[in-house]
Amino acid sequence: MGSRSLVGNVLFFVIIAFCFQTIENPCFIPLSHAEEQAALTLSSAVDKALKDNPLIRITLSGREIAEAQLKEARAGWLPLLQFNETFTRGNNPVFVFGSLLEQARFGSEDFRISALNNPDPLSNFRTAINLRQALFDQLQTYTRVNQARLGQQQADLQKAMVEQQIRFEVIRSYYGVIVAHTRKEVAEEAVKMAESDVKRTRDRFQNGLVVESDLLAAEVQLAEFRQQLIDADGDVAVAYAALNTVLGLSVDTPQKVTGNLVDKRFEAEKKEVLIQLALLHRPDYIRSGYNVQLNKEGVAGAKREYLPRLDLLGNYGMSGKDLSSGSSDYTIGASLTFNIFDSGRSARISKARAAESMATAEQEHLANQIRLEVVRAYQQHVSARERMSVAGQVIDQATETHRIVQNRYREGLTTITEVLRAETALVRARLNLVAARYDHYVSFAHVLLSVGKLTGVDPFLS
């Protein structure tokens, strides 16, 4: 019994110690298997955004519209078949005479002068099927089909461009959550450090070792760090809202984000190479090229209006005094149309040429904007990479300086002002390092986006 009681007491204290540790350090609570699976990784965040972001649905609808426009354009090569049912009643002499012939009810009594001039009212039911086939439509269907195919390719490029933009937004917001959490942790450590300073300074003040101004300075430092903690806590909520927005979720959807901003070095190509890659791979630039071709087709289509038009016509119908009886007939013919004078044709050609010129100018403008965007993204990446290197060195110096000043203050060799200054510098250095790493990640993603190569997130995975 004694040994069992001893074992029970040991287990009791172990459980108490574990619970105390859990309360004091909630970040060390082990996740269950289900919770680990529910944690959001960068890859899963991108997959979800590419599935649920409203912009994706917009581009998919645009693709469906382009497909429908192509089908509509191709319909110009197919015949047009119409069904028509008409009811007419009247005593117009021409109408009555013709309707009697159509109904095959014209008799010798209908040749009477009184019947021809003043016929009785007549009802005519006309059932007809009309067929029209364009044998040559001035190549207008050919023009519309070519334009629709170009529009379809533009829709595909629009989807690729939107997908890259969404990946960039996911990277920025995902690591934004990690940065917000890290800043909050730094702020919490700063508050604990300042609280320790206030307690130590208050004890020294009560023992007459320091003046009251030292205590007030420490309390002011604590208040500033607490304010930073409040701001950091709000930044975490905003970061999650931004992430949920790009994922296509409600802003208050709970998330569990894994990963951290490790010390990685992203190397980009030279600026001149990046510009060349951008003009080869940017979906929006390629899309602008298709827009130029589309407007060239518009010019060609306007010029093709000088060509003749040839149609095949067919009609089969039945006319009767009611729906249950009647006489059938048919007609077959062809129609050749040539517009000798069309005052609006030259205006349509001029409009199409102006649209082509505008599309060409827009492509040139876009090329200039792409070059500028690549240069800006490249320089931001270089700056972020250098700042990250400097921030890594500064944090080591700030940590060592803080340690030396703390030791000197304990020995009474320096003032509380130096301690507070060292603490502020250390906190600033930690925050600067986090910001520099974040900017390094995001700037490299921006470089890939600016050249149209942000087709995945593998370079950012640990």
Q: What is the pLDDT at residue 462?
A: 65
Average pLDDT score, the chain: 86
Spatial separation of the C-alpha atoms in residues 133 and 80, rounded to whole Å: 6
Residue 444 lies in a domain: yes
Residue 315 lies in a domain: no
Residue 409 lies in a domain: yes
Specify whether 14 is located in the same domain as 144. Answer: no
What does the DSSP assignment read for 84-130? Answer: EEEEEEE--HHHHHHHHHHTT---GGGGSHHHHHSPPPEEEEEEEEE
Sequence-separated (6 or more) residues with CB below 8 Å from residue 451: 274, 277, 278, 281, 282, 374
The CATH number of the domain where 72 resides is what? Answer: 1.20.1600.10
String of b and e for 314-352 (b: at least 16 CB within 10 Å)? bbebbbbeeeeebeeeeeeeeeeeeeeeeeeeeebbeeb
Sequence-separated (6 or more) residues with CB below 8 Å from residue 111: none
Residue 100 lies in a domain: no
Q: Are 428 and 422 in contact (CB under 8 A)?
A: no
Specify whether 14 is located in the same domain as 151. Answer: no
Q: Which helix (H) or strand (E) covers residue 425, if one does? A: helix 416-450
Sequence-separated (6 or more) residues with CB below 8 Å from residue 330: 314, 315, 316, 317
Q: Tens digits of per-residue pLDDT, 395-430?
A: 888 888 888 887 887 777 777 778 788 888 888 888
What does the DSSP assignment read for 315-360? Answer: EEEEEESSTT--EEEEEEEEEEE--S--TTHHHHHHHHHHHHHHHH
* 9 burial level (CB within 10 Å; 0-12, 13-18, 19+): exposed
- SS3 state of residue 135: strand
Residue 209: half-sphere exposure toward Cβ, Cα within 13 Å: 14
In angstroms, the Cα distances linking 178 to 216, 258, 356, 437 are 34, 8, 48, 11
Please report the beta strands in 121-217, taking only residues with DSSP state E, as ranges in sequence order: 122-137
User: pLDDT tens string for the chain (462 positions)?
Assistant: 444 343 344 333 333 333 334 333 333 334 444 444 478 999 999 999 999 999 999 999 999 999 999 999 999 999 999 999 999 999 999 988 888 888 888 888 878 887 788 888 999 999 999 999 999 999 999 999 999 999 999 999 999 999 999 999 999 999 999 999 988 988 898 898 888 888 887 887 888 777 888 788 888 888 988 998 999 999 999 999 999 999 999 999 998 888 788 888 898 899 999 999 999 999 999 999 999 999 999 999 999 999 999 999 999 999 988 888 888 899 999 999 999 999 899 999 999 999 999 999 999 999 999 999 999 999 999 999 998 888 888 888 888 888 888 788 777 777 777 878 888 888 888 888 889 999 999 999 999 999 999 999 999 886
Residue 445 lies in a domain: yes
Q: What is the pLDDT at residue 399?
A: 83
Spatial separation of the C-alpha atoms in residues 84 and 317, rounded to whole Å: 9
Specify whether 5 is located in the same domain as 70. Answer: no
How many independent structural domains does the chain possess? 2
Specify whether 146 is located in the same domain as 23. Answer: no
Specify whether 59 is located in the same domain as 16. Answer: no
* 8 burial level (CB within 10 Å; 0-12, 13-18, 19+): exposed
String of b and e for 254-274 (b: at least 16 CB within 10 Å)? ebebebebeeeebebeeeeeb
Number of helical H runs and strand E runs in the chain? 12, 4
Spatial separation of the C-alpha atoms in residues 447 and 384, rounded to whole Å: 12
Specify whether 246 is located in the same domain as 269. Answer: yes
Specify whether 268 is located in the same domain as 247. Answer: yes
Spatial separation of the C-alpha atoms in residues 147 and 141, rounded to whole Å: 10
Q: What is the pLDDT at residue 214?
A: 79
Q: What's the distance, CA 187 to chain centroid?
A: 34
Residue 338 lies in a domain: no
Specify whether 142 is located in the same domain as 25. Answer: no
Specify whether 7 is located in the same domain as 48. Answer: no
Rounded to 5 degrees, φ, ψ at 239 are -65, -40
Specify whether 71 is located in the same domain as 195. Answer: yes
Specify whether 3 is located in the same domain as 59. Answer: no
Spatial separation of the C-alpha atoms in residues 244 and 173, rounded to whole Å: 9
Structural domain that includes position 399? 40-77+138-307+364-460
Sequence-separated (6 or more) residues with CB below 8 Å from residue 327: 102, 103, 104, 105, 318, 319, 320
Place of tokens 């905003």: 238
Residue 59 lies in a domain: yes
- Residue 27 tokens, joined: 């970040």
Question: Is the full-model pTM beyond 0.85?
Answer: no
Q: What is the pLDDT at residue 33?
A: 42
- Residue 90 tokens, joined: 């009247």
Specify whether 242 is located in the same domain as 209. Answer: yes
Give the dihedral sign, CA 227/238/42/158: negative
- SS3 state of residue 307: coil
Residue 344 lies in a domain: no
